[in-house]
Each structure stands twice: as C-alpha cells, then as structure tokens.
Structure 1
Amino acid sequence: MNRLLLPFLLLFNMIVLAQSKVGGTVFDEEGEPVAFANVIFKNSTEGTTTDENGNFYLESDNTYEYLEISFMGFNTQDIPLTSKVNYNMKISLSENTEQLKEVIVFGGKQSKKNNPAIDILRKIWAKKRVNGLRKFKQYQYDKYEKVEFDLNTIDSALMKRKIFRGLEFVFKDLDTSRITGKTYLPIFLNETFSKVYGDNIANVEKEDVLGNKNSGFESNQAIIAFIEDLYQDYDVYNNYLKFFDKSFTSPLSRTGIDTYNYILRDSAFIDNKWCYNITYYPRRKNELTFKGDFWVNDTTYAIKNINLEVTKSANINWVKEIYIEQDFEVVSDSVFLLKRDYMLTDFSFKKKEESKGVYGKRTTVYGDYQFDIAKPKEFYKTKSNEFDPLVLNRDSIFWQNSRLESLNKDEKGIYKLLDTLKTVPKFKSFYNIASILGSGYIEIDKWNLDIGDVYSVFGYNDAEGIRLRGGARTYFGQNDPWRLEGYVAYGFMDKKAKHGFSAKWLLDKKSRLIISGGNRRDVEQLGLSLTSTNDVLGRSIASSSVFTVGSNDRLSNINLSTFNLEIEPITNFKVRVGSSLRTISSALPDAFSLDYIDPELPTGISSEVKQFDVNTMIVYTPGKRTIGYGVERRNINDTYSTLLLNYTKGLDGFLESDFNYSKLQFSYSQPWQLGGLGRLYSTVELGKTFGEVPLSLLNVVPGNQTLFTIYNTFPNLDFYEFVTDTYASVHLEHNFNGRIFSRIPLLRKLNLREFVGLRGVWGDLSTENIALNSPTNIMLQAPNDKIYWEYSVGVGNILKFFRIDFNFRGNYLDNPDARPFSVTGEFGFHF
C-alpha cells in the first residue's frame, strides 16, 4: 500500500525532438473500432498496433511522408502525413474481398494448424537455450540504467489549479510521450552504472555497482525501494514475465499458443539480417497478457526486436499502460545480445484515456561485451564495496564516461529543477504529505526525528477500552548506523499508561553485526503466532481491534525486556543470540485466568509468571533482496522463502525466573509462482516444548476473533481454544489473480480475483502440563484426536480495495461455542 501511494503524490520538465508524431483511431466500414491493426511508418520497421478500442499513437526521430495501416482481411491503407504532427486521425479500412474468398481472416481466434507464425515460434523454443549469453563459458559486460518518473496528461486546466500556484515555473517546458502521445513533466531520475560478470559452467553471476546517482531523493528509502521492486530484471524468453507481483504470459512462452493469436506479417532485412515479423494478440480478455510484435532471425531464430504492450483489459490495478521494447545486436555474425531495454508504465487511479497519472520509465543499455575470460571462484564471492561513498558521489567526469546512452536536455534539467523545488515551501508541503502517507511517520528534519507511526494512534480492546498511542524514532537518513524508537500509550478504561522502546546499533557493516535491546510494558493478545517472537515494539491487530467476534477478553499484561546480538556472516543467513526477561499476567483475570499450581506459595496457586530465557535463532531467506546498509534495511521483493530454526532455554532461578524448560521450533514459508495460475503461499510450522510450563508459555494455536483476514491464523477458532506443547501446522492460500472469473462473461469486466485457502494443525498437550495449569478457568484442549482443519473461499479486488473471505470449519464442531462459519475481510491497495 505504502509504495503505491508515492508515485501519485510527487511533481516536474522535458523535450524530445521527435520528427514524426501520429495518433488516432482505426475503424471498419461499419464504424466499429479495429483492434490490433498494424500501424507503421511506410518503408520502415517502426510501428505499433491499435489497442482494444482501435486507438494508436506512434512517433519517430525520423521524418516520414506516409503511414501504412494493415489488417488481414482488409485493404492496406497508405495515409499521407501532411505535417510532422498528425493527431486525432480517423482511418477507415475496407474489406478485402479477395482475401475473404480465400478464407484468410484476421481479427478473431487464429488457427493453430498450418500457421507459419507458430512454426517459427516452435523453432524459437528449440533455439532459445543456445542463443545469447548462454553460448559462452563466461561473459562480462557494462550495464547502464536510468529510471525516470513523470507527471503526465498535463493540460492548461491542471496548470491553473490553486494547488500549483507558486509552482508555475515547472511547466515551462513540456513534451509528449512517443508511446502514448500525452504531455508529461519529469519529477525523478536515478542513474546506475555497473559491471556484470557471469560463468555459465559454474552457474554464478555477480553485479558490481560502480556508481549510483538520483535527483534529490537519495534519503527516501520508500521511493528507492518502490523503484527497485518495480523494475526487476526479466527475460522475454521465459514462459512468464513478473511485474507488480503478477505473472504475465510471455508471447515467446511454450504456453503462448493457447494464450495468443499469432500472425506472420512481414519479412525484411534488419542490420543485414533477414528477419520475420510476427504480430500477436490475446485470445481472451481480462487475462495477464500483451499485444505487440517481434522480429526474429530466419537462421538462428533469435529475437532481433520485440515490443510488448499490456492489454487494457488485463486484470491489474492502478496501471493504465505497460509498454516494453527490447533491441538485440548481432555479435560474431550469429550471436544476438540484448542491447537496449525500455519499459514505460503509466500509473493512474483510473484507466480512462484522459485520466492523469505518473509515468515510470526505465531504460537499460548494455555494452562492451566480452567472453570466455575465466575468473577464479573467489572472484564471484567478493562484491564491490557498496558502502564506499565514492559509489554514491561520483563526479561528472565519471558519469560522462560511463553513460552508455547520453541524457537528453530535459533529463539533465531534472537535477537542477529539483534543487530549485526543494526551496519552495509549497513543494515541501506536497513532499511531506506523500512521505507521511507512504511511511506513516511525520519527519522533523531539524531534530532528526520522525513522529509516528500515524496508523497506530487509535485502538480499542476489552481491557483498555479506547486506547491512544504516540511514538517517535531517530532518523538522520536511510543508512543510520543506530536507531532509537519508542512509544507511549494510554487506556481510558483501565486508566494505565503503557510504553515500549528499543535501541539498535550496527557495529560492523560487512558482517552486519547488530546489538539491540529494549523494554515493553503493555496489554497484548498473545498466542497469535505459534513461532514466538521477542519484539518490544510490535503489537498485534487483535490487541487493538475495534470489532471482534465473541468476547475478546483473553488479553495479557506483559512486561518484556530483551537483549540481542545478531550477525549475517553470509548474505541472507542470519544468526541471532539473545535473552529476554518477561512478566506475564492476565489483563482481565475474572474472565481469563493464567493461574497455575505453585507449591512455594501459601495459596498453592500463582497468577503471574516471571521468566528469563536465552534464545538462539537462525533465519535463512534465499533470494531476499534489500536496499540500504544501515541498522535497518528495507525489503524490495517478496518472492523469497524463509526458513527459521529457533531454540529457547528457560532458566529457573536466574533473576527470579520461575521455570526450567526447552523449546524447539521450525517454520518454512514459501511463495510459489504457478505461472498463469497465480500465486500459492505456503507455511509449515513444527514445535515442541520439553518440560512443564504454564499456559502463558505454551504454544497456542492462533485463532482469530477479529473481522480481518490474517494469514497464518485460524479464523474459526477463538483465542486459546486449542493449546499445545507439541504441534505441526500447515497453511495454504492460493490467489488465482482473476483467471477463473475472467472466463465468466458476466463477471469479466469486474476484474475480481479468486482466493482459496486450506489450513490444518495437529497438536498435543502432556498430562503434566494439564495438571500444572488446572487452576485456569478456560478449557485446555489440544487437537490430538484428529487434525483440526478449515478451508475458505474468497473474492478480492472488490472496487479495487476490498477482499472478503468465507471461512468454513472442518471438524471439532462439538467444542463449546464452536464457530462453523465466519466472514473476514481485508482493505488495501494492490496491483
């Protein structure tokens, strides 16, 4: 949600000297728009295809006199271009009766049999593993990337709005996009230069970033993370291309035959290589597909050029356009290597043509390819020093020599423009609003302090009633080596103040050696996770939920102090050793008792636990990507798996600790991208406690009495309905991303998305632990007779914001107050 808000809430200047610009609509003789018609500048390879509504826009740095419109089944039209700029063209195509008599029809579903385009596609599949970099033992090349954001669809009405009063100077120079024909104003530019090395035999690759520069937002980690996550590398030869957490079927995919229509449109010499031109467009609407064309060599069947444009009916939110263009160069007469990759994304709240939004543009240029230069294994294990200030502060001479594609006049102007804008109070106000919505914190620069987070100010529960919370953290920059953070809260029913604070210090950047500690005294809903954590600032949504199902009175008072030492000796392999001292008691003892037998007390019963633990945790997250090198880093992807092994030892007697026990826990979480079928989330958890412990230290199967959909919980279980000291659980949730609904005519236009879930848990509770906790006033039961299970079906993307899940209980229906059915929901911004 936070990343989606940022591109829409910033502002800015640009000129591209295109010599030919055309735009308009293609119709048939009945006045109906012609979708996917071919539009090219005559006697060139520069062209595009019309969208689902017959609209097109095209521009070129060259000057052309004619525009050629073709569509099989219709007569080709040559349209004279009377000026360099020709907009709002209305072009009518007439049917070609000779072609119709030969039953050569283009426009609907194309035959898969005797189709020369598909024959060529099969040869591309056969050759793709021996094309490009794969043909060499080793490779290395230079990589230059620039990412730009622009405010688009600028018109006179927008410029005159009060919101831009005092900022008129930013509109001095405007130009139109060569892809969409809309006016735009640049607001952000980031440049990166790196060298990439790879070894196909050892299957290793590394990228050394030698320079990085951006236009004034280098301290805003949220913006940088958004860009990194948005523009990840992709290979058009793969079956699926991932953008915005969704898998689009590649037109070069082996499943493309069932997804696209293919037409062999033309053939020509390109860079002295004879190539075929194939047009493609989707067979069905509302699926994650492209339209466009590609040129492919007639002997190597390597791609020379490809254009991909996401269809407007694709089930994706907040994105109106995605356009990709890749050019390949010929090396050694037969090897085709990627030379330039261009991607344009039009972010907008609405998909209407006239709606305003933000362009995101990435251009990546590759050069100086070298091959079969072997490097020792140690070379790939070492990385460039990303902490070196020289990387972030390269001079103009470095960039002049490193840019594989020069900045144009207006890209150079972005740096100067933003330096000016930073001095304008109104712009600073706009930026601050965007930052608050994106991060949840109010920045106070003169104090190097952030106030927040603003999303946790209000809460309610049965113990505290209405609850207000305020907090702050130190913030000098995204790479701070240390950070202090804390909050205070007050409950108006119990009339008690609460607090939490933490301190972190990065002792060594290379090994990421971090020392941390803190204290929290608060009211909490424990038992929402089988795998325990020692977060002194965290708070579950169940502890502050305004609306709940049934009585939400099983809350605990917790006083937690922690001290931890953490190290990451290998990338994504983290080891943490720490200790905790906690005191736990019931926040509502009349309704929820944590009493247990204590022979040392005169009454023989204790209602409070004081426990000191030492803990060792190992976390491995292969594939995880982060940015920043300070004490706190930001993740920029969510495609990685997480393996966690946790060992906890409770020490009796130390600091008046009550119990001696051991606890071993393991969890494995993995997202699975199942091609065009969507994404499956899976989690497996195992654990066992050795020794006798009270209820507050046992493993509670996580129920969910809130109205919110919370992954890894059981929405039809009440809090503390099942309690275990030995457990095994599994959670599965699949998001079909609208693949089913897109095939139902009445639901297709709603762009709804389907969810299904299945979860189960088995657990046991020893007779010794049952006896120890016999004074409690709640029933202690473990799902040991049979596996407790639930399933759910859900509908997401309702009005683009909402998701509703219908949850069904599979068994243990005879438990007191068992809930056989529940409805939960979720609100958020999702692509």
Structure 2
Amino acid sequence: MIRDAETHLPVTNATVSCDHTVLGKSNSSGMLYFTSDCKKVTVTAPEYKEASYLTDQVIEVFLVRREPKTKSIEGVVLSDKSDPRALEILQKVNDNYSQNSPQSLESYAYKSYEKIAMDLDQDSIESYNQYIRKRIDSLEKLPQRAMKPKDKKDSLQSVQLAQLAGQSKMFLWERASEVMYSKTYGEKINILDNRVSGLKQPLYELMAFRSNRNKIPKEVQEENRNLYRFFLTDSLEIEGRENYVIRFRQVSNREARDRKKFNGYLYIDKASYALKKIESESNEANEGTITSIWVPVNEKWFLLKEDYKLKVNSNVLDMNISLRGEKPERKKDKGKKFGTYAYATADYFDIKTPIEENIRDFKGYTIEVKNSDGRLLDEYRTEKLNEREVNTYVKIDSLSSVYKLDQKAKGLAGLLKGRLRLGMVDFDLAKVFGYNKYEHVRLGLGVKLNERFNKYISPDAYFAYGIYDKKFKFGGGIDFKTTLEKNSFFRIEYFNDVNAAGRFSENLWNFRMQIMNSGVAINNNIFYGYEGFKVSYENDITNGLTLNIAAKRSQEEALFDYSYKDLGKRFDITSATLTLKYSPNSKNIMTPEGKYTYEQNYPEFYFNYEQGLKAWDGDFNFSRLDVLISHNLKTKLGVTGIRAYGGLMFGDAPIWENFTMNGLASGRGNFNFNLTSYLGFATMEGGKYYNDKFAGIYLTHRLPWYFKSFGKNVSSFDVIYRGITGSMKNPQDHRFQFETLNHLYNEVGLEWNNFLSSQFNLGFFYRVGHYNTGNFKDNFAIQFKLRLLGF
C-alpha cells in the first residue's frame, strides 16, 4: 500500500524498483503485488520524495511531497499530544516485552549475517566520480611547479584517496555468528567468521556490536516517550495476524507544517502486543533510517532482519589535491557536499527452539571467535557482495600499511579500557593525573608492554610525582600468561607509593568503577606510605567467576602524627589475600590484549579476605574482610539500584588496615560541592571517621517520569539514600585525632539526570538523623556526575 504521508490517500502510478529494475506500479488503490528476492526496494512518484523500504510480506509506504502543503489536516495529527490509545498500546508493548522475548524460552539457537559499511550516499556516487574527474583534469592543466619529495608523495596519496571513495566503500565489516541460549547456561555467541577491511587482525571489540536483538527499540522505550508523539492510525493483517499501525514523529517538529510529518511507524501484533516491525526516519531529510522486522516462532518474537542508514557527516569536499604544486583558488572553488553514511544490515535465520543443551557448548566466555579470516563468509552471506564491496577489501587492505589502519584501530579499542596504545606500548590514562589532600596534584605516567612485545609476557612500570609532598612514587611488575584462551596469569610486582588510610578494596574493579571512585579520598589527608613486593595469580574460572590470590611483604609507615599502641608508626606487614568476583550476567570476549567485558550486567559480587601473618618478620596477625554487592532492578515503578557493602577487621593492625567511611566534604565550614564517587558520602567530612567493622548501603530509584528540556536528551530524577554505620574496638590504641562512626549516618538526595540535556547529572544531598548538625551549610551538598559513569 502506497499513500500520501499528509492526506493518507492512495498514490497512483508510484514506481517500485529494485537495483534500477522496475517491479511494477501502484494501482488506483495505491496497491502493488510483486514477487522479488530483493532485500530493499525504492519507491518513486512524481511530486514526491524518493523512499527506500526493506521488503516484507506487507509494506506500507508513506510518501512525502517535495513541497509540503501548509493547509490544516486532521486535528489528531496537528495536535502536539500523543493519542492516548497509542500510548496505552505502547505501554502494553513494554509490559509484555519479557514475555514475548525469545529469552523467555527454555532454549533456542539461530544464525546471523551482519554487515557494517561506511560509504557515500548511494545516489551521489556517480556525481562524486564526475566531480573528482573534473577536479583532477583542471589541476593537470595548471603550470607545473617544483615540489618537494614529501609534498609530491602527499599529493599522490590525496589523489588516490579521492578516487578510492568513488570506487569502493570507505570501510566494510562482515560477521557471521551462531547464537545459542539456555536458561540454565546462559547465552553463547560463536563468531563463525568475520572480516574487517584494512585490518590484519579482527577488531574484537567491534564483535560486540549490538542492535535491537535483545532490547526494546529506543523509540518504544518508556523513558524516551516524551521525545515522540504517537498516533494510532490504522490496523493491518500480516500473515493472518492483525496488527495495530502506530505512526510517530519527533517532538522537535514545532512548526505547523512540520507536524504533518511522521518520522516512522510501528506494527504491533494485536494478540501479543509484540513489535512486528519498526521503521524510523530522522527528523532531518536524508539524515538516516532504521528498520527492524520480527517474526513469531513458538509464540515468541525473533528479530528477522535489520537495516540502518545513519549520516556521519556532510562536509564540503575539499580534497586539496594538487598534481603540479598548485591549489585551486578558494573563491572559484567552494567545494561540493557529499554525505557520508554508516550502513548496517543484519539477517537472522535457521531459528530453532528448543535445542539440545550441552554444557560443553556454553563453556568459556560469552563470545568465542571460531574463525577470523573471511574464508567461510560465503557460506553465510544472504546476498553476494556488490562490486564496490569487493573493491573495498582489495583497495582498503592495500592502503592499510600506508596509513597504519591496523595500529590506529587497536589504539581506539584500547581507549575503551582506559589505555592509549602506541605500537607495543600501552599508556595507562588513569595514572596521568590525580588529586588528593596529601599530594594535592599528582602527575604520573604508567606504561605496559602489550602483546606486540610478547603474547605471554607483559612487563609494566609507573612513576608519579606529588606537587605538595615533592616526592616521587614508582612501581613495576610483570605478567606471565598461562594461556591465550582466557584470563589466566601470574604476576610479580614491586611498589613504593602512598595511599589514603582505610580505603575499601578495589580488587578486580573495572576501569569505570575505579574512575568513579578515584576522588573518594579527595578530602582525606590521613595517608601512609608503603614499599614492598607482591606475587599473585588470577584466573577466570568461568565466564562470570574470577579468582585472584596474592601474597605481599611490605614496609608501611604513617605519614601523619600517629602511634599504634606506643609501637611507633612504621611496621612490617606480611599478608595473603583471596579475592573473588562473581558477575553471572556480564558478557565477555577474549581479545589478544586480554578479556574485554563489553556488557556489564547485574548482579555483581566482590569478596576480599586478607590475612596478616607474623611469619616472614610480619609484625601483626590480623584478618580483614570486605564485601560489595551491586544490583539493578527495573519494575513498573521505575529503576532501582542497590549497592550494599561492608567490612570486618579482627586482630591487631594500624589504622590504615581498618576502614574509613569515605567522606567527600572538606569539613572546613565551606560550601560542600564535590564529584560523585562509587562509595562516598557528599555531606560527610573526609578522613574523620574510622571503624574496624561497618555496613553501608546506597539506594537509588529512578522515578518513572521522563521529560525533555531542550536538545535530544531525556531527563529524569533519581531519589537517592546513602547510609552507613559501624563500630571500633579499642579506638584508644590508635593515637591520632579521629572519630568512630557508631550511629547510622544518613543522607538523602535528588539527582537530576542529563541536567539541562547535558552529559552530566546534578545531585542535591542533605544529611539527616543522628549526625545532623542543625546548620544547613554543614548538612547540604551538591554533586556532579558524568552521565557515562552510570550507576
């Protein structure tokens, strides 16, 4: 069915074609029946803009006029409010999503073929080639001038790049996968084969690319409801099943004539309230389209195919090419715009449910790469590569060594893990800059030799300098991998550094968690120095369970006025530590650089047990235990985050082996403003409270009310509670000024997510209960948090 997007009337004689082959024209009712193996068709009609659609059993096309009329249409379309009937249906889609998802089955399996490319707009390729030919011809007619060898080389390379974009795509990646799921063993994705243009080795982090396969599309998600206006416009039968047809548009269309425009449509199965199809087009012309189609199997809805086209840029083309040392005059040559797009297509097939479940098929990490040279891709391609795609592998691969594409791609992947990669050296970005109350500004450098140095052996070293204490800190170590199939290695290290007393263990925390907690000691000046050696072994027992055991021998000294039991402030510490991390729902893949967690899911459990020993000249026999549990729950009442943690210390040990309560406030009577931390309290004075046993909790609940101030981001509010309590046995043994937190410390807050549509969250916190001072300035604090840090 082909209709006018404004009036919904049939469009007669609209031409439907595939690869420039006409399949037919619509009749007086706007209908056309055709049979074709084409994955996508193009629809054209006089006075209308051209449109492209994925082929399906039923395709409903709405064409937009080239010059939209400004007369009024139905009030429901002009209204700036969604149709209540449409919102009711969408709510049922969200409520029934889990029930309709394939993951509600006991088991299933299917295969997929996915392709991602970067290319010019398909309709402008010939125009681009003509532009480049004329540009080169005009430059060849210019008088020849002497050029330096480097300039001549750059000139020739610029010509090659300009011609390349007309002959091939700029980037191409293919992936064939087998996906298996079991309620008992979880999900397993086998990469049957893949190939990336220009790269000798696959970009493993790219293999974690995800789409609408196991998530609700953003246009339907409840938190994005205020970004769109929805209208129930029709019902349609597809393959014997009745479907609601809901059309939607973006809220940013404020002008009356723009309100007639729809950005896309949803087909929703009436019987199950499952998504059958979604087609979304950008608010701006030619900015991009997204199409996803689902199919029912055993009354569960599997993704069948996807098609993405997203505009990357539309820069004025100025290749700055010069064959004879001359550049075209700027005034005469203003350049021409050619849009660059990211294209992604995916087909899912061979769906089977249930399947025979064998634990051996699910062992190892979530994603396992079976092959990565592209030899087997022909077995899984759902359509042959066209000429431009074939040329992409040939031409981009030939330029890879010239422009060091492999090295640059690996460098970008390293940034995901907080590392800057230059050849065989990785630089630790977390060690470049820091701030605390003892050193004030801390500058440093951390380097590690990666797998390009040796696949099994990886040395590392770091140094840092404190601006205030004017002292260097340094350390180094070496990892010995026992296998390349999973995370398993021995480590030996030396250290000479300082740290805040009583820090909660961060063993096995990921980069995001460590960055969020890096400022937890920003107002704590109770520091100690430590120097010594450590040996450890780490092993991923399963995809979700990691074990680390370590033995340490160090000399530790208080860097403040302190004495423990009149024994002084410098001690020899010998200890052994056991650390466990259990994250059963997180998704991992093994890369040449090590394990990469591409999807961190909850719950997560962290357990540390350290045993101090008097053996090997150790001064103390103590036991230190800490536990952290994080979870995230989504219900109809909103999203609730839970972070519960606690610690116990038995025996004799200096204050830094006990626990500080992680205050972030300065305590000087100033206005409390700080950056959020993973375990910190916005209103608590830093370095004031120490306990040998404690329990804390952090609760956050996102209210199910989402609003839009300006821009494209949706804002919401989180209600937050933080509480902590504990005690200390024999606090008089530690001779320095501190307090024991032996009552429940409470602070409540309200956090504005995407503050003013920015990438920051703004939080307001107030201290209540026993530790409330009655002074508003003492009890009140404001916090900023980078949105990317998440929960």
In structure 1, what is the Cα distance between the partners aligned to 2:307 and 2:646?
A: 46
246, 250, 253: which is aligned to 1:279?
A: 246
Counterpart of 2:641?
A: 681
Instruction: Check conservation: 1:516, 1:565, Cα contact below 8 A.
Output: yes
1:732 has 2:699 as partner:
yes
Alpha-carbon spacing, 1:423–1:682, altered in 2? closer, same or farther (3 Å): same
Instruction: Check conservation: 1:584, 1:696, Cα contact below 8 A.
Output: no
Instruction: Check conservation: 2:433, 2:444, Cα contact below 8 A.
Output: yes
The offset of 1:674, in angstroms, is 5.2
Alpha-carbon spacing, 1:293–1:521, altered in 2? closer, same or farther (3 Å): same
Counterpart of 2:677?
A: 710
Q: Which moved more, 1:189-198 or 1:679-688?
A: 189-198
Instruction: Check conservation: 1:506, 1:630, Cα contact below 8 A.
Output: no
Counterpart of 2:733?
A: 772
1:375 has 2:351 as partner:
no
110, 113, 118: which is aligned to 1:144?
A: 113
The offset of 1:755, in angstroms, is 4.5
Instruction: Check conservation: 1:698, 1:725, Cα contact below 8 A.
Output: yes
The offset of 1:665, in angstroms, is 2.2
Helix, strand or coil for the counterpart of 1:781? coil
In structure 1, what is the Cα distance between the partners aligned to 2:607 and 2:231?
A: 50
1:825 has 2:784 as partner:
yes
Q: 1:263-278 alignment to 2 at 5 Å? A: 263-265=232-234, 267=236, 278=245
Alpha-carbon spacing, 1:693–1:720, altered in 2? closer, same or farther (3 Å): same
Counterpart of 2:754?
A: 796
Helix, strand or coil for the counterpart of 2:398? helix
Counterpart of 1:210?
A: 192
Instruction: Check conservation: 1:680, 1:733, Cα contact below 8 A.
Output: yes
Instruction: Check conservation: 1:473, 1:485, Cα contact below 8 A.
Output: yes
Equivalent residue letter for 1:193: A
In structure 2, what is the Cα distance between the partners aligned to 1:69 and 1:582?
A: 85
Instruction: Check conservation: 2:664, 2:682, Cα contact below 8 A.
Output: yes
In structure 1, what is the Cα distance between the partners aligned to 2:45 and 2:304?
A: 32
390, 404, 408: which is aligned to 2:386?
A: 408
Instruction: Check conservation: 1:528, 1:713, Cα contact below 8 A.
Output: no
The offset of 1:649, in angstroms, is 1.4
Equivalent residue letter for 1:413: N
Counterpart of 2:541?
A: 569
Instruction: Check conservation: 2:500, 2:524, Cα contact below 8 A.
Output: no
Unaligned 5+ runs, structure 2: 31-43, 53-62, 136-150, 254-261, 316-335, 666-672
Counterpart of 1:53?
A: none
Alpha-carbon spacing, 1:433–1:715, altered in 2? closer, same or farther (3 Å): same
In structure 2, what is the Cα distance between the partners aligned to 1:523 and 1:291?
A: 57
Alpha-carbon spacing, 1:648–1:327, altered in 2? closer, same or farther (3 Å): closer
Equivalent residue letter for 2:110: Y
In structure 2, what is the Cα distance between the partners aligned to 1:40 and 1:559?
A: 80
In structure 2, what is the Cα distance between the partners aligned to 1:63 and 1:303?
A: 28
1:91 has 2:67 as partner:
yes
Counterpart of 2:554?
A: 582
Counterpart of 1:399?
A: 377
Equivalent residue letter for 1:415: Y
Q: 1:163-178 alignment to 2 at 5 Å? A: 166-172=157-163
In structure 2, what is the Cα distance between the partners aligned to 1:94 and 1:141?
A: 49
Alpha-carbon spacing, 1:686–1:436, altered in 2? closer, same or farther (3 Å): closer
1:695 has 2:671 as partner:
no
In structure 2, what is the Cα distance between the partners aligned to 1:125 and 1:762?
A: 36
Instruction: Check conservation: 2:250, 2:263, Cα contact below 8 A.
Output: no
Counterpart of 2:307?
A: 342
Helix, strand or coil for the counterpart of 1:785? coil
Identity score, percent? 17
TM-score, normalised to structure 2's length?
A: 0.72
Counterpart of 2:177?
A: 194
Instruction: Check conservation: 1:561, 1:581, Cα contact below 8 A.
Output: yes
Alpha-carbon spacing, 1:267–1:707, altered in 2? closer, same or farther (3 Å): closer
Instruction: Check conservation: 2:223, 2:706, Cα contact below 8 A.
Output: no
The offset of 1:308, in angstroms, is 3.7
Over residues 267-314 of structure 1, what are the superposed CA-to-partner deviations in whole Å (9 max), with x where a residue is unaligned?
A: 47x6x758657132269669xxx95224567999986643245768xx
Alpha-carbon spacing, 1:348–1:646, altered in 2? closer, same or farther (3 Å): farther
Helix, strand or coil for the counterpart of 1:418? helix
Counterpart of 2:346?
A: 364
The offset of 1:596, in angstroms, is 1.0
Counterpart of 1:5?
A: none
Counterpart of 2:618?
A: 657
In structure 1, what is the Cα distance between the partners aligned to 2:533 and 2:16?
A: 66
The offset of 1:495, in angstroms, is 4.0
The offset of 1:795, in angstroms, is 5.2
Alpha-carbon spacing, 1:625–1:255, altered in 2? closer, same or farther (3 Å): closer
Alpha-carbon spacing, 1:580–1:370, altered in 2? closer, same or farther (3 Å): same
686, 689, 694: which is aligned to 1:719?
A: 686
Helix, strand or coil for the counterpart of 2:388? helix
The offset of 1:688, in angstroms, is 1.7
The offset of 1:422, in angstroms, is 2.2
1:80 has 2:46 as partner:
yes
In structure 2, what is the Cα distance between the partners aligned to 1:147 and 1:167?
A: 25
User: What is the alpha-carbon root mean square deviation over aligned residues?
Assistant: 5.6
In structure 1, what is the Cα distance between the partners aligned to 2:399 and 2:163?
A: 14
Counterpart of 1:261?
A: 230
Counterpart of 2:292?
A: 325
Instruction: Check conservation: 1:143, 1:195, Cα contact below 8 A.
Output: yes
Q: 1:110-509 alignment to 2 at 5 Å? A: 112=84, 139-150=108-119, 166-172=157-163, 186-197=169-180, 206-217=188-199, 224-225=204-205, 228=208, 230-231=210-211, 233-234=213-214, 240-241=216-217, 248-249=219-220, 261-265=230-234, 267=236, 278-281=245-248, 291-295=263-267, 305-309=277-281, 323-326=290-293, 328=295, 338-346=303-311, 359-370=341-352, 375=356, 377-378=358-359, 380-382=361-363, 391-395=371-375, 398-425=376-403, 441=419, 443-445=421-423, 448-450=424-426, 452-454=427-429, 456-459=431-434, 461=436, 463-464=438-439, 467-476=442-451, 480-509=455-484
Instruction: Check conservation: 1:554, 1:719, Cα contact below 8 A.
Output: no
Over residues 104-124 of structure 1, what are the superposed CA-to-partner deviations in whole Å (9 max), with x where a residue is unaligned?
A: 8775546556x9x989x8999
Equivalent residue letter for 1:499: F
Equivalent residue letter for 2:644: V
Q: Which moved more, 1:134-143 or 1:574-583?
A: 134-143
Q: Which moved more, 1:290-299 or 1:657-666?
A: 290-299
Helix, strand or coil for the counterpart of 1:407? coil
The offset of 1:727, in angstroms, is 0.9
In structure 2, what is the Cα distance between the partners aligned to 1:800 and 1:816?
A: 32
Over residues 213-272 of structure 1, what are the superposed CA-to-partner deviations in whole Å (9 max), with x where a residue is unaligned?
A: 222346586xx436625546325xxxx44xxxxx6535xx9999998634344647x6x7
Counterpart of 2:578?
A: 616
Counterpart of 1:513?
A: 488
In structure 2, what is the Cα distance between the partners aligned to 1:573 and 1:580?
A: 23
Equivalent residue letter for 1:614: A
Counterpart of 1:600?
A: none
Alpha-carbon spacing, 1:295–1:147, altered in 2? closer, same or farther (3 Å): same
Unaligned 5+ runs, structure 1: 1-21, 27-33, 48-57, 71-77, 176-183, 242-246, 313-318, 598-603
The offset of 1:821, in angstroms, is 2.5
Equivalent residue letter for 1:420: S
In structure 2, what is the Cα distance between the partners aligned to 1:254 and 1:428?
A: 39
Instruction: Check conservation: 1:615, 1:649, Cα contact below 8 A.
Output: yes
Helix, strand or coil for the counterpart of 1:415? helix
In structure 1, what is the Cα distance between the partners aligned to 2:593 and 2:404?
A: 33
Counterpart of 2:589?
A: 627
Counterpart of 1:596?
A: 564
The offset of 1:787, in angstroms, is 3.5
Q: Which moved more, 1:206-215 or 1:123-132?
A: 123-132
